Amino acid sequence: MQHGIKTVSFEEAAKVIKSGDRVHLHSVALAPHKFINAMCDRGRNGEIYDVTIQHIHTEGPAPYAATEFEGIFNLESLFVGANVRKQTQAGYADYIPVFLSETQQLIREGYLNVNVTVVQVSPPDKHGYVSLGTSVDCSRAAVEMADTVVAIINPNVPRAFGDAMMPLSSFDVFCEDDSPLIEHHNAPLSEIDIAIGKNVANLIPDGACLQMGIGGIPNAVLAQLGNHKNLGVHTEMFADGLLPLVESGVVNGMNKKLDKGKIVAGFLMGTKELYDFVDDNPGVLMMDVAYTNGVHIIKQNPKVCAINSALSIDLTGQVCADSIGTTHYSGVGGQIDFTRGAAASEGGVPIIAMPSVTGRGVSKITPTLLQGSGVVTTRNNMRWFATEHGCVNLFGKTLQQRARAIISVAHPDFREELDRAAFERFGSHYHFVNNLVK
């Protein structure tokens, strides 16, 4: 390979791990599965034990979290994805509560002392630089701080710009792989998704700077923005739903004050079309989460519209987004980073959007959160709340006014029950409170 790079087998590369080490794995679509398999083989063979694995959300199998590796691998996720959710709920893996913006801080300031980092990178360019492609997030910090860094050179990793670009001197051990990146295909939008999308789109002004993630609600919102003008993007991640708006010129970044004309993100998850879009594209900057999710950065753009979802909300506006009672489900992620950033932005619109009921028809709006639920967005942070039944602004509302507003966008089948719970909580005066839903 050019630049005098000597590559080794995955079996050889996995030997850099010693018992007691902390290992950081590249995230989302770039999880290094061939290295993971070689690492697990070493564990099965009794060659290593007491190895701590850390990462944010990853796609694909996570065999190191299996019960067979108890005492060999200990997973400490910075965000719990579906591939490790059962193991985390069963106690065989664990979770570190942290804002996404501060995941890099845990690494850079030595709270998490990384011994080995494993990342996938694009082939080197003529200047000797490779790209971290679709996942910069906190992985750049892990590359910078680790004792040993393994780089897997993969031609399918897009050559993304921004903080993704790193010199070959940043890496110690090289492997080669040509496996395609894991893709995520969007499910068809439900009627509820579409209704929420229309409600939220009405809150987004022309010239807004968008933050939204993956899934039905973000895609439904994006699908309703075709007649908007001069939208920008500064987000922790984006997916395929953004591409039609870029192609039509709706998203052009012309109203941004920071990174004018550029799409800024920390990681991506989508199809090959999305990965091809960012490849060698100077209009996209893949950046460290200290930048994408830093409140002091986010607020510099005007009209930041932050759209995030949740698992449940109580009648005072406390939002649970990481657990179902004491059962852990996902993580804090960047919800608070962008809720606070949008609130500090001139003309910003922080939005929590979710269906009013679960797939089983249970109300997600409850008198109080389930015991043990994690409050991710506090009632003090709440501004706009949206369901398929409408949008309400909670900012400046009293507890009783909030209850009335939230109940007004609950599923009709549960409004009487919720109203009764509010009356029992606040007393007879609740009946005389103005129903301020504007």
List residues with catalytic annotation.
236
CA–CA separation, 135 and 127 (whole Å): 21
The two tokens of residue 193 are 């998704």
* C-alpha–C-alpha distance, residues 41 and 33, integer Å: 12
**How far, in Å, CA of 270 to CA of 238, rounded?**
8
C-alpha angle 350-333-355 in degrees, rounded to nearest 5: 55
Helices (H), 206-347: 216-223, 243-248, 272-278, 289-292, 295-298, 335-344
CA distances from residue 205 to 72, 167, 288, 328, 347 in whole angstroms, order as listed: 52, 41, 28, 35, 9
Residues 434 and 401 sit within 8 Å (Cβ to Cβ)? yes
| Distance in angstroms (rounded) separating the CA atoms of residues 199 and 209 | 18
177 to 7, 34, 153, 180, 394: CA distances (angstroms): 10, 8, 6, 9, 50
- Rg of the chain in Å (alpha carbons): 23
Distance CA 355, CA 375 (A): 18
Cα gap 430→345, rounded to integer Å:
34
